[in-house]
Structure formats: C-alpha cells, structure tokens
C-alpha cells in the first residue's frame, strides 16, 4: 500500500504545551488534595522552563535556517499558546488555589497583609539572613549590566536623585542568591493559629530602599531570564568528552536568552530596558501576576503540616509470590523471568539483585548503563563497592543526559578512581538503554543475569514514574544484553541480537515491519488486526505514516501517548480508526509498550507480539540514541502486561484525555469512575 494521503502533522511544540495544559487541569480538580493541586502548578512551571530552555530555543534556531520548514509564523503561534497557558496557570494559582489555601488557614502574607509584629520579625530576618548576601549594582560605564544566569532571580529598580558621587545613574540590579530559601514560614506565635508564609521576594521588596541609602526606589520589578541551555560541544573535534562537558557546564547558564519574566506591575520603561539588554523581542516578555518562579512554591508544600491535603502515602509492594524476600534472586531467576511494574511494585528487588551480586564471590563481572540515577544513589555506591572488591565493573555513563550531566560526570570520575571501566557510549548518540548485566560462575560455566527496563536506575523516580522492568536469566536475552555492552565498548560492526531490537540499527525498521504485518492482515480481511502503543511521545513521521496505513487498511489502533503526539486522529477516511489518549494522574506515565496482532494464534505463529522498550517513537530515539526493545515471549507475562499496563488505560475515564484532529485534548467521560492508576494501587496495596 502506498503512503496515505499527505496530511499536515500536528505541531510538536504546541503538542508539548497541550500536554502541560492537561497537567494544569489536574490543579483544577476538586477530587485532588489541595497541596497536590498546587504541586501540579509547580510541575507545569518546571516543564515550561525546560520547554523554553530546549524546545523553544531549538525552534528559534530552526526558524533562522532557510532550509528549515519552521517559519516565523510558527514561532509566533507557539509563543501565543505559551502566553495563554502561563496566564491560565497564574489564574489557577491566584483565583482558585490561593483562596482555598486561605480557607484551610494556609496563607502567603504580602507586606500589606502583615501586622506590626510580623513586620518586625521579617525586618530582623532580612537584616540577619538576607541583606548580608545582597550586592546591589548601580549601572554606569564602570558597572555595566551584569551577567545574569539562566533562571536566576533578580530585582531591577529605578532610583531617584544622584549617587554618592553626584552621578545620575538611575538603574540598579540586585541579584537574589540561590542559597536563600524562597519561602519562609513565620513562627507559630506570630501566625494567629494559621500556617503563615512570606516569600523571599516580598521580604526583599519591603526593604529594597535599605539597599540604597539616601535614595528612593521609584519603580521596581522582579525579573528572571530563561536561556538556551542545550550543552553544545563539537563531538568530532574533542579528544575527551567528559572534560569538554565539564567545561561546558560553566557556560551553559549564559546561553542565548529566549524568555524574560517580570511581574505584571513592572513599568514599561524597565521591561523595555531589560528586553534591550537581553536582545529580545516584545513577544519574549511574559508579565506574570505573582512570583516569577512558581516552581519554588514546592518549598511551601514541603513546609506545610497538613497530611489531609496530600495524597495518602502509597508504599510499593514487594512481589512476594514471585520473588520471596531474603532468598537468592539468582536462584529464583533460574526458574523463570520476573516482571516488575513500578511504582506499584517496589524497585528494591533491582537494588537487592545488585547488592547480592556485589556480595557474591562467584560474581565475576557487572555491567550497567547509567542515564539518570541522581546525585545520591545506592546503585552507584554498590558499583563502586564491586570494583573495590576486585570484580570487573563496566559502566556506560551517558554524560549528555540533559540537566544530569554534572551528576553523571561525578559518578564517572568516582567509578574510574576505583578501577571500574567507564565508557561514554558512542559519539553523537546518547545511550538511553536501561540495562544491568551480571556474570556469575556456576560450576564449570558462566551464567548471565540481567535487568532490562523502560525506566531509569533511580529508586526515587521509580516511586513516581510508571515503568516496567524484567529480571531474567534467559540465555538469549542476557546474551543480547552482553552484545549491546560489547557494541558500546568496542564500536565494532553491528551484529543483530537474537531477540532484542537495538536503535539506531534495527528498531525503527522492525517497528515498520510489524506495522506492515498488521496492515497486510487487515487488507487480507482479518477483523482482529490490532495495534496498541503506549509511549511518551509520537513524532517520527515514518512511524506515523505506518500507523496511518494500517488504520486505513482496517486495523483498530489505540495510542496511549502521555506527551507530544503529532498524529492527528479522527480524520474521516484518514485516521478515523485511530484513537489517541493521554493519561495524567498521580504518577508520571513513563513505560513504553508496543503490541501488534495480525492473526489468531495457531501452531508456529502466536499471531501477536508485545515489546517493552526504552524508546519513544521519535526520530531522535530511533536514529540518534542507543535504545533497546525486547519481546515478552512468556505468555503469562505478556498477558500480565496487557491486563495491567494497557487495558486499564484504554478504559480510564477519570484521568484520561482524548486527542482531537485539531491537536486539542478533551477529558474522557464515561459511566462509572475508572482510574487505571488508582485501580493498580488498590491491586498492589
């Protein structure tokens, strides 16, 4: 079948903003605990920071490239959508959440709201904790506009009169040090039975004139600039990637400005002055009705004593029936594979497997990929201990895991210091695969054990993200994992693994083959032709057109795409066989699952295939990253993945959204209240 009728794909950047609109909708749900609603507002702010630092910055670059399809109109359209979303975000914070917090006697007190004892306390706090760290800079030829780091908070002030030297320097800049807390809780004896907070910006604002003796502050504003923060190094021209990135980390904070935030009351002359300093157009100015960095309100959430306003604690279950506690995991895996479904099941078995390997004298070698593991990690400490004990340790450390570069460089240096073999993957390709391989001497032979996952080796995020992992001693899968590590270390010619798919070599082509197999079955009259894909993003044009061909042939297709989706579903005759939904709930949906059905089961052909993967369906994942996908061949485990990680999401009518052909999402409503995440929490509680 030829390519389907050409259609305009949805805009990727607008799709990312649409995802954040769905997240913001969580903050408006009355059935979500109040402090968690506020946390969703903070999450949107954090997401938008990264959006401007990376995606929007890339879009601006593309618009300047005459060979790019991105136009200035595209940039304007996305900018307007970002402005609208941020305005809505502050409306939710000011008009919905703040009054509800006040009802629960949780208040943020501005200077005008504070009584005299509170003002005296704030004044003492300013003199003692804040003022000694502030260095106001009056601008003149000897004091040019200072370097302003990415996302750092500053004040700009217009002053009256002349300075001590009789000069007419009217503009001053005050940097707010990152070390200072952004949210300060007032003592209980000053709070009248409430939980009362003051923002650091309010403290500084109330005492701004104290920084300029003899002069009046005529006008002022908070401001924050967001910069292009992609770490750019010419990987073809450098001899040592780690050293180059370590150097690049110091300059990342001063990349090209892409957004300027000021408070809504900022005088036009000050905002225009700042736009000129940062060489930004008017469209890059965001006037916000509140704190310019809502992310920092996480500090208020953390300091508030109100358990009833948070989600009830959930403790992941240990898979007792399949993995008895305090027994050898090696012994258990020799019987069959173990599937772990996080965060409903604990990540601790993975840590215990590595701990057992470190302490077992028969374990000779351990190999692991490291993408996002965190600044503190028991897993990394265990790898270091394994190397100290003389085991062969190989760590494939991805130094370009965005915003985790510094932590990963530090781990790489610590591992090298104890004799571990550290490699940084392949120049030009991020290593995003999640693999742990253990080699153990058993009698006269070596046996391999492995953990393969859709998510990162980070016990903290494993409690917040939904992911699937497999513990296995399967000879083929573990041999494939070993070949991946050899590929990353030796850079030899690619040899297709037995079962795994490996990007950038054969994953994309195999996914297209499977889509084509379902398409052919549908064309042949098979009514059960079916595709279900659960991923974080769908932006690869070839895979999108493969899905469209299968849909037009008659296959029924369900896509569960958490974030950006560029496929417009529901177009008559084009994509009306495709339903795209997104689930936004308590946990971040992160697992990647690909299910294909092309025939009824018969001898020699099960008629279906199910893969778990580290890769989203994006061109970067398929062609510019090292990714793995692996089939779930055990029928019981395959059915469990379908029953737990696919079917519930197709029936969710509490936290699911359905995408329309125009790129807008509407919340799914149906009979009864069905939440996939809540059902899984009940199952595993």
Question: Quick one: pLDDT at residue 287?
Answer: 97
Residue 553 is assigned to a structural domain of this protein = yes
Choose one of 260, 277, 309: the last residue of a domain.
309
Question: Quick one: pLDDT at residue 490?
Answer: 80
Burial of 667 from C-beta contacts in 10 A (0-12 / 13-18 / 19+): middle
| Share of residues in the chain with pLDDT > 70 (%) | 93
Question: Do 252 and 231 form a contact (C-beta atoms < 8 A)?
Answer: yes
- What's the domain range around 666? 503-684
Residue 593 phi, psi (nearest 5): -135, 135
On the question of pLDDT at 10 being above 70, the answer is yes
Choose one of 438, 473, 498: the last residue of a domain.
498
CA distance 434 to 456: 6
Mean pLDDT, residues 462-480: 96
Active site residue 432: yes
Q: How many distinct structural domains can be found in the chain?
A: 3
* Residue 143 CB contacts under 8 Å (≥ 6 apart), including other chains: 137, 169
pLDDT-based confidence at residue 2 (cuts at 50, 70, 90): very low
> How many CB atoms are located within 10 Å of the residue 128 CB?
9
On the question of pLDDT at 495 being above 50, the answer is yes
**Lowest-confidence pick of 154-168, 206-220, 268-282:** 154-168
pLDDT, one tens digit per residue, over 135-151 is 898 887 667 888 899 99
Question: Quick one: pLDDT at residue 397?
Answer: 84
Mean pLDDT, residues 464-486: 96
Place of tokens 């009054």: 99
Q: What is the DSSP string of 551-602?
A: HHHT-EEEEEESS-B------TTTTTTEEEEEE-SSSEE--EEEEEE-S--B
CA distance 464 to 641: 19
Question: Quick one: pLDDT at residue 435?
Answer: 96
What are 303's strand-pairing partners? none
User: Between the ranges 71-80, 154-163, 419-428, where is the mean pLDDT highest?
Assistant: 71-80
Question: Quick one: pLDDT at residue 423?
Answer: 86
Choose one of 482, 498, 514: the last residue of a domain.
498
Question: Quick one: pLDDT at residue 401?
Answer: 52
CA distance 223 to 287: 10
Question: Quick one: pLDDT at residue 244?
Answer: 52
pLDDT-based confidence at residue 168 (cuts at 50, 70, 90): low
Angle at 466 between CA 462 and CA 469, to 5 degrees: 75
pLDDT-based confidence at residue 409 (cuts at 50, 70, 90): confident
Q: How far apart, in Å, are the Cα atoms of 532 and each of 535, 566, 577, 657?
A: 10, 17, 12, 16
Residues 394 and 432 reside in one and the same domain? yes
Question: Quick one: pLDDT at residue 402?
Answer: 58
Residues 302 and 338 reside in one and the same domain? no
Q: What is the CATH number of the domain that holds 353?
A: 3.30.870.10
Residue 467 is assigned to a structural domain of this protein = yes
Question: Do 591 and 468 form a contact (C-beta atoms < 8 A)?
Answer: yes
pLDDT-based confidence at residue 239 (cuts at 50, 70, 90): very low
Angle at 575 between CA 569 and CA 579, to 5 degrees: 45
Report which DSSP code applies to 130: I
Question: Quick one: pLDDT at residue 163?
Answer: 66
Which ranges of 197-297 does DSSP label H, i.e. alpha helix?
Answer: 200-206, 241-252, 268-278
Question: Quick one: pLDDT at residue 403?
Answer: 55
Return mean pLDDT, the chain: 91
Question: Quick one: pLDDT at residue 678?
Answer: 96
Q: What is the CATH number of the domain that holds 210?
A: 3.30.1840.10
Residue 525 is assigned to a structural domain of this protein = yes
Question: Quick one: pLDDT at residue 67?
Answer: 82
On the question of pLDDT at 503 being above 70, the answer is yes
Residue 454 is assigned to a structural domain of this protein = yes
pLDDT-based confidence at residue 373 (cuts at 50, 70, 90): confident
Residue 49 is assigned to a structural domain of this protein = yes
Residue 87 is assigned to a structural domain of this protein = yes
Residues 537 and 462 reside in one and the same domain? no
pLDDT-based confidence at residue 604 (cuts at 50, 70, 90): low
Question: Quick one: pLDDT at residue 671?
Answer: 74
Place of tokens 């996908």: 629
pLDDT-based confidence at residue 78 (cuts at 50, 70, 90): very high
Question: Quick one: pLDDT at residue 517?
Answer: 97
Choosing from 342, 432, 451, 508, which is the catalytic residue? 432
Residues 493 and 511 reside in one and the same domain? no
Residues 249 and 395 reside in one and the same domain? no
Residues 265 and 296 reside in one and the same domain? yes
Residue 269 is assigned to a structural domain of this protein = yes
Structure tokens given for 633: 């061949």
> How many CB atoms are located within 10 Å of the residue 154 CB?
19
Residues 102 and 238 reside in one and the same domain? yes
What are 596's strand-pairing partners? 531, 609
Residues 385 and 474 reside in one and the same domain? yes
* Residue 508 CB contacts under 8 Å (≥ 6 apart), including other chains: 540, 542, 543, 622, 623
Please tell me which residue, 467 or 164, carries the higher pLDDT value. 467
Assign 656 to helix, strand or coil: strand
Question: Quick one: pLDDT at residue 592?
Answer: 98
Mean pLDDT, residues 155-177: 82
On the question of pLDDT at 356 being above 70, the answer is yes
Question: Quick one: pLDDT at residue 404?
Answer: 60
Mean pLDDT, residues 470-487: 95
Residue 602 is assigned to a structural domain of this protein = yes
Residues 62 and 113 reside in one and the same domain? yes
Cite the annotated binding site for Mg(2+) by residue number. Answer: 372, 402
Mean pLDDT, residues 604-615: 91
- Closest by CA to 226, choosing from 50, 402, 76, is 50
Residues 483 and 622 reside in one and the same domain? no
On the question of pLDDT at 290 being above 80, the answer is yes
What are 51's strand-pairing partners? none
**Lowest-confidence pick of 66-75, 190-199, 310-319:** 66-75
| Share of residues in the chain with pLDDT > 90 (%) | 77
Residues 34 and 130 reside in one and the same domain? yes
Question: Quick one: pLDDT at residue 4?
Answer: 47
Cite the annotated binding site by residue number. Answer: 47, 372, 402, 465, 562, 590
Question: Quick one: pLDDT at residue 430?
Answer: 86
On the question of pLDDT at 247 being above 70, the answer is no
Residues 434 and 572 reside in one and the same domain? no
On the question of pLDDT at 237 being above 80, the answer is no
On the question of pLDDT at 589 being above 50, the answer is yes
What are 431's strand-pairing partners? 626
pLDDT, one tens digit per residue, over 638-682 is 999 999 999 999 999 999 999 999 999 999 987 778 999 999 999
């Amino acid at each position: 079948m030829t390519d389907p009728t050409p259609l305009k794909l949805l805009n990727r950047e607008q799709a990312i903003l649409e995802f954040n609109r769905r997240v913001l909708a969580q903050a408006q749900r009355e059935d979500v605990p109040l402090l968690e609603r506020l946390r969703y507002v903070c999450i949107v702010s954090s997401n938008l920071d990264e959006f401007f630092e990376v995606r929007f910055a890339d879009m601006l670059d593309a618009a300047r490239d005459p060979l790019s399809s991105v136009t200035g109109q595209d940039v304007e359209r996305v900018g307007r959508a970002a402005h609208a979303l941020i305005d809505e975000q502050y409306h939710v914070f000011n008009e919905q959440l703040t009054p509800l917090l006040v009802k629960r006697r949780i208040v943020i007190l501005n200077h005008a709201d504070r009584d005299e004892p509170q003002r005296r306390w704030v004044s003492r706090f300013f003199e003692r904790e804040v003022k000694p760290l502030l260095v106001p800079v009056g601008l003149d030829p000897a004091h040019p506009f200072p370097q302003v780091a990415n996302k750092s908070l500053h004040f700009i002030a217009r002053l009256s009169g002349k300075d001590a030297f009789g000069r007419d320097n009217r503009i001053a800049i005050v940097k707010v040090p990152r070390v200072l807390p952004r949210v300060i809780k007032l003592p209980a004896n000053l709070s009248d039975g409430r939980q009362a907070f003051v923002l650091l910006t309010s403290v500084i604002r109330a005492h701004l004139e104290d920084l300029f003796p003899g002069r009046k502050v005529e006008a002022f504003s908070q401001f924050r600039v967001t910069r292009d923060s992609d770490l750019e190094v010419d990987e073809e021209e450098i001899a040592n990637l780690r050293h180059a990135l370590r150097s690049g980390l110091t300059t990342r904070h001063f990349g090209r400005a892409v957004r300027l935030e000021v408070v809504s009351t900022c005088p036009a002359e000050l905002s225009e002055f700042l736009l000129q300093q940062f060489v930004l157009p008017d469209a890059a100015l965001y006037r916000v009705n509140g704190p310019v960095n809502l992310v920092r309100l996480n500090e208020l959430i953390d300091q508030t004593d109100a358990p009833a306003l948070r989600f009830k604690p959930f403790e992941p279950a240990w898979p007792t029936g399949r993995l008895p506690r305090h027994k050898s995991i090696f012994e258990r895996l020799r019987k069959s594979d173990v599937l772990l479904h996080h965060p409903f099941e604990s990540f601790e078995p993975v840590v215990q497997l590595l701990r057992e390997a470190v302490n077992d004298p028969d374990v000779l070698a351990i190999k692991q990929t490291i993408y996002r593991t965190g600044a503190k990690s028991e897993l990394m400490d265990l790898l270091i201990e394994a190397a100290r004990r003389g085991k062969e340790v190989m760590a494939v450390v991805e130094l370009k895991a965005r915003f985790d570069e510094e932590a990963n460089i530090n781990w790489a240096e610590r591992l090298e210091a104890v004799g571990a073999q550290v490699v940084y993957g392949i120049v030009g390709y991020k290593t995003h695969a999640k693999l742990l391989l253990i080699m153990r001497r058993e009698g006269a032979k070596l046996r391999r054990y492995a953990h393969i996952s859709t998510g990162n080796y980070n016990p903290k995020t494993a409690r917040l993200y939904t992911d699937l992992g497999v513990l296995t001693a399967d000879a083929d899968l573990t041999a494939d994992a070993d070949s991946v590590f050899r590929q990353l270390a030796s850079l030899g010619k690619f040899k297709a693994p037995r079962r795994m798919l490996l990007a950038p070599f054969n994953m994309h082509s195999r996914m297209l083959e499977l889509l084509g197999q379902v398409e052919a079955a549908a064309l042949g009259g098979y009514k059960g032709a079916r595709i279900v894909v659960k991923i974080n993003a769908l932006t690869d044009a070839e895979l999108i057109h493969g899905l469209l061909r299968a849909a037009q042939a008659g296959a029924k297709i369900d896509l569960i795409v958490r974030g950006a989706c560029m496929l417009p579903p529901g177009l008559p005759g084009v994509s009306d066989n495709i339903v795209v939904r997104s689930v936004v709930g308590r946990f971040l949906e992160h697992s990647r699952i690909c299910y294909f059905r092309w025939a009824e089961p018969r001898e020699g052909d099960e008629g279906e295939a199910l893969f778990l993967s580290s890769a989203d369906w994006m061109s970067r994942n398929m062609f510019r990253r090292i990714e793995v996908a692996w089939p779930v061949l055990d029928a019981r485990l395959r059915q469990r993945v379908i029953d737990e990680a696919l079917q519930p999401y197709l029936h969710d009518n509490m936290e699911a959204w359905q995408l329309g052909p125009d790129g807008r999402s509407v919340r799914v409503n149906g009979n009864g209240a069905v939440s996939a995440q809540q059902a899984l929490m009940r199952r595993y509680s």
